[in-house]
């Protein structure tokens, strides 16, 4: 076997003293008697180090560059046959009205005088009968002009196209790949570098190791894997540098791309798919990226990548090529056979001409010669005959090696880090588990990553805290030490309405948080790095400390300054209801971020909906005055419950008087009358009603104010718990949005 199938050059987990049981032979091939888990294999190594030798040896990276021996296990072969994928396209066609009504055959049956639009649906074929194979130890590159179907083919092989839409079959070692199995043994690197900007290269890879490597693997071994991968990717000098973004200087573009590759190969997948890994890079950085991919393939992986126009240096690193033109194969084979191929077609490549550039230019000329796609038809047909003549395919050859289940087990025993392998040999899919780690471990790691990234951008929380303090200061000075007069009651109601609505509006900054992480989340969950439920729970837990701090800051700024009632117990309830309002508002905005994908649209919706919540809260119009067809919105209003809660906390004291007899005339035209005139008026009213109303008689208590405001359904604690429940409700809705809206597959 050729050198490109040589073992991986650096294995960061296996010690020289590792001694596994010799595999049994089946049909002339080696097979492990039991498919051990990765954790069990590593435990054997640890036991051997601790017990098998008198002196414990340090765990170290072993350089295997000097070894050049054939594998005892046949390589993996990924085969794809007759892949066809079409999508519906719609276009509007404006026709005269005389063609408006047609029968089912399209015959005109009537005419009128005006124009109208008809929507015509066509099928566009993105992949047309594509076949080929990719082998372990090789780099398969898919080439072609923009729109040729490169990314579509990568998506098809990576199971990112719905099964009902994709025709043909994809097999690994002759067996059909199940979606669940493919997610665990493969990785997909997107074209865009989706990384957390304030994490260093080492931290980014370490968090990926925490997700993708099983919990049974010790922390030290995970760190060793990360360090070995940093060396393999050529990132040693940038290991302590943050990734960076537009506002923070970080690593270079080529280093970012290699980090993106590293986080997906941390578990050493058997198959690696990459969409345009060299896009946007200079020639040197692009060469280094492909050189890394070659090393990955030589470590025992299948590498399939799309690339636009590789340089001659990069071409020397590639093992197989597939040229696509409008979804059809125009060449498939080794780069070295390109001159011979075009020579036999009748268009030899001139000497000293870059063969890739010549091939792409020639294919483009054929495409332009017939816009409908017929220009490349001769080349497509010639490729089929060329393949049948020089490389006749034997579909049974893939089955001659180990079965897929046995090959995966043998691959694990060689050091491949297929996360979560099990001993169950009942089926191929059962040899791997869906997730490498338990639920609670995922929550801890996600929370740690989020907090570390947030701590390095303190300006974001500082701006939010500043906004809350400024708002609280303005409210405190505007409503300074309100009295208990009728005017003071009115002002207290206005303060509570504004304060409670402000807590919800300040939660709008939670909108871009998930929108910025959306594609990172989709990339990581597409191949089972962690559960969606883990992300939702960690996302919820991380925001609680900041919300509690903001709530306390706002409550402390306003409670005593405004002169609210209740003493210390009243303050703690006031703080609790504000905290609940922040929690419900943050959950609501987070839920909207799961539905809306554009920040500006999201802000528009948030502001509008929160305005409706305030309108129907019961401040502007009492519940009994709301029209019946809008009453449902009153009970859905998030502002209603904290607003009623603080009202109950303030006025729910039947012994406290808020309006005396002489204050009855306040807020009326008689308020300008003298006290003596008000006393005389009270005597007249008393005589008329038969009641003794003196200037000091209590006319309105706190209970009367609550009744006037329509706050009679719930206690203040009921309002608190309902507000908290709203927060949990929207978090659950957010989870279902992620569950149904982040499939990351083409239809």
pLDDT digits (tens, 9 = 90+) for 438-495: 999 999 999 999 999 888 888 888 989 999 999 999 999 999 999 888 888 999 999 9
Look at residue 428 and tell me whether its pLDDT is greater than 90: no
Residue by residue, DSSP assigns 227-245 as: HHHHHHHT-GGGTTSB--B
Neighbours of 603 (CB within 10 A): 17
Question: Would you list the DSSP string of 593-650?
Answer: HHH---HHHHHHHHHHHHHHHHHTSSSSS-GGGS-GGGHHHHHH-TTHHHHHHHHHHH
The dihedral sign for the CA sequence 482, 483, 484, 490: negative
Position with higher pLDDT, 392 vs 716: 716
Question: Helix, strand, coil proportions of the chain in percent (round to 5)?
Answer: 55, 15, 35
pTM of the full structure: 0.77
The mean-pLDDT minimum among 109-118, 242-251, 321-330, 698-707 falls in: 109-118
pLDDT number for residue 393:
61
Q: How confident is the model at residue 410 (pLDDT cuts 50, 70, 90)?
A: confident
Q: Which residue has the higher pLDDT, 670 or 575?
A: 575
Q: Give the pLDDT of residue 668.
A: 79
Percentage of the chain modeled with pLDDT above 90: 35
* Per-residue model confidence as pLDDT tens digits over 316-345: 999 999 999 988 999 999 998 999 999 988
Residue 422: per-residue pLDDT: 42
Most confident of 69-83, 394-408, 485-499: 485-499
What does each C-alpha distance from 405 to 19, 420, 431, 714 come to in angstroms? 22, 14, 7, 61
Rounded to whole angstroms, how far apart are CA atoms 569 and 557?
16
The whole-number pLDDT of residue 226 equals 93
For 725, the token pair is: 């429940």
Q: How many CB atoms lie within 10 A of CB 677?
A: 12
Nearest to 211 by CA among 158, 267, 272, 268: 267
Question: Contact 78/156 with Cβ under 8 angstroms?
Answer: no
Give every CB contact of residue 490 below 8 A, 6+ residues apart in sequence: 667
- ∠622-626-627 over CA atoms, to 5°? 165
For 30, the 3-state DSSP assignment is: strand
pLDDT at site 92: 52
Is the separation of the CB atoms in 524 and 530 below 8 Å? yes
The tens digit of pLDDT for each residue in 256-278 reads 989 999 998 888 888 999 999 98
Give the mean pLDDT of 294-301. 89
Picking from 128, 133, 159, the residue whose alpha carbon sits closest to that of residue 144 is 128
The two tokens of residue 392 are 């006749």
How many CB atoms sit inside 10 A of residue 568's CB?
7
pLDDT over 70 for what percent of the chain?
80
Beta bridge partners of 139: 303
Residue 371 confidence (pLDDT): 64
SS (H, E, C) 300-349: CCEEEEECCCCCHHHHCCCCEEEEEECCEEEEEECHHHHHHHHHHHCCCC
Spatial CA neighbour of 244 closest among 198, 182, 304, 192: 198
Per-residue pLDDT at 372: 65
143-192: per-residue pLDDT in tens? 988 888 899 999 999 988 887 888 999 998 888 888 888 888 888 888 88
Average pLDDT along the chain:
80
- pLDDT for the residue 6: 39
């Amino acid at each position: 076997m050729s050198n490109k199938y040589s073992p991986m050059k650096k294995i960061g987990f296996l010690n020289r003293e590792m001694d596994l049981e010799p595999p049994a032979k089946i049909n002339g091939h080696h097979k492990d008697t039991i498919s051990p888990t990765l954790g069990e294999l590593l435990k054997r190594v640890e036991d051997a180090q601790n017990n098998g030798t008198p002196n414990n040896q340090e765990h170290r990276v072993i350089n295997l560059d000097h070894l050049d021996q054939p594998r005892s296990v046949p390589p993996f072969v990924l085969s794809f046959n007759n892949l066809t994928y079409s999508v519906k396209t719609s276009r509007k066609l404006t026709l005269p009205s005389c063609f408006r009504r047609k029968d089912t055959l399209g015959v005109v049956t009537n005419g009128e005088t005006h124009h109208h639009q008809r929507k015509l649906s066509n099928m566009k074929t993105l992949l047309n009968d594509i076949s080929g194979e990719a082998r372990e130890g090789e780099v398969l590159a898919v080439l072609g002009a923009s729109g040729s179907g490169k990314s579509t083919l990568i998506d098809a092989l990576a199971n990112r196209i719905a099964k009902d839409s994709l025709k043909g079959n994809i097999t690994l070692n002759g067996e059909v790949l199940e979606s669940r199995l493919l997610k665990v043994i493969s990785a997909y690197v997107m074209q865009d570098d989706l990384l957390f900007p304030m994490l260093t290269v080492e931290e980014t890879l370490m968090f990926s190791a925490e997700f993708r490597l099983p919990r049974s693997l010790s922390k030290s071994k995970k760190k060793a894997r990360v360090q070995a991968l940093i060396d393999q990717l050529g990132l040693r000098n940038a290991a302590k540098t943050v990734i960076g973004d537009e506002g923070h200087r970080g690593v270079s573009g080529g280093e970012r791309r290699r980090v993106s590759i590293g986080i997906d190969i941390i578990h050493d997948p058997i198959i690696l798919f990459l969409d345009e890994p060299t896009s946007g890079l200079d020639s040197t950085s692009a060469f280094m990226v492909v050189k890394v991919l070659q090393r990955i393939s030589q470590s025992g992986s299948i590498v399939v990548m799309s690339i636009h126009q590789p340089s001659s240096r990069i071409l020397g690193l590639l093992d197989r090529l597939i040229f696509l033109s409008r979804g059809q194969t125009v060449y498939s084979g080794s780069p070295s056979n390109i001159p011979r191929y075009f020579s036999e077609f009748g268009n030899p490549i001139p000497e000293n001409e870059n063969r890739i550039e010549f091939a792409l230019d020639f294919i483009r000329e054929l495409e332009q010669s017939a816009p409908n796609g017929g220009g490349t038809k001769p080349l497509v047909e010639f490729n089929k005959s060329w393949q049948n003549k020089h490389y006749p395919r034997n579909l049974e050859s893939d089955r001659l090696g180990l079965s897929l289940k046995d090959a995966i087990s043998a691959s694990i025993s060689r050091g491949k880090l297929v996360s979560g392998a099990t001993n169950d040999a009942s089926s191929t899919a059962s040899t791997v588990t869906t997730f490498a780690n338990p639920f609670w471990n995922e929550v801890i790691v996600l929370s740690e990553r989020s907090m570390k990234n947030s701590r390095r951008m303190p300006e974001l929380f500082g701006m939010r805290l500043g906004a809350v303090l400024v708002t609280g200061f303005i409210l405190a000075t505007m409503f300074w030490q309100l009295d208990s007069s009728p005017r003071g009651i009115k002002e207290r109601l206005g303060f509570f309405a504004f304060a409670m609505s402000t807590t919800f509006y300040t939660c709008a900054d939670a909108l871009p948080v998930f929108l910025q992480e959306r594609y990172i989340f989709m990339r990581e969950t597409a191949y089972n790095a962690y559960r969606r439920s883990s992300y939702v729970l960690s996302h919820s837990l991380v925001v609680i400390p900041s919300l509690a701090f903001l709530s306390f800051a706002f409550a402390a700024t306003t409670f005593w300054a405004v002169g609210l009632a209740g003493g210390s117990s009243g303050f703690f309830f006031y703080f609790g209801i504000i905290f609940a309002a922040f929690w419900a508002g943050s959950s609501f905005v987070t839920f909207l971020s799961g539905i809306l994908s554009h920040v500006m649209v999201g802000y528009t919706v948030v502001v509008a909906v929160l305005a409706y919540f305030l309108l129907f809260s019961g401040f502007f119009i009492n519940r009994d005055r709301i029209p019946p067809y809008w009453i449902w919105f009153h009970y859905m209003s998030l502002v209603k419950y904290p607003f009623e809660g603080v009202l109950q906390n303030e006025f729910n004291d039947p012994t406290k008087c808020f309006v005396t007899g002489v204050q009855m005339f306040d807020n009326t035209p008689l308020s300008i009358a003298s006290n003596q005139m008000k006393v005389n008026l009270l005597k007249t009213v008393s005589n008329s009603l038969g009641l003794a109303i003196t200037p000091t008689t209590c006319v309105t208590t706190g209970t009367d104010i609550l009744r006037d405001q329509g706050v009679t359904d719930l206690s203040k604690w009921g309002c608190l718990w309902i507000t908290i429940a709203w927060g949990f409700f929207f978090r659950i809705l957010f989870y279902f949005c992620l569950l149904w809206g982040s499939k990351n597959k083409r239809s």
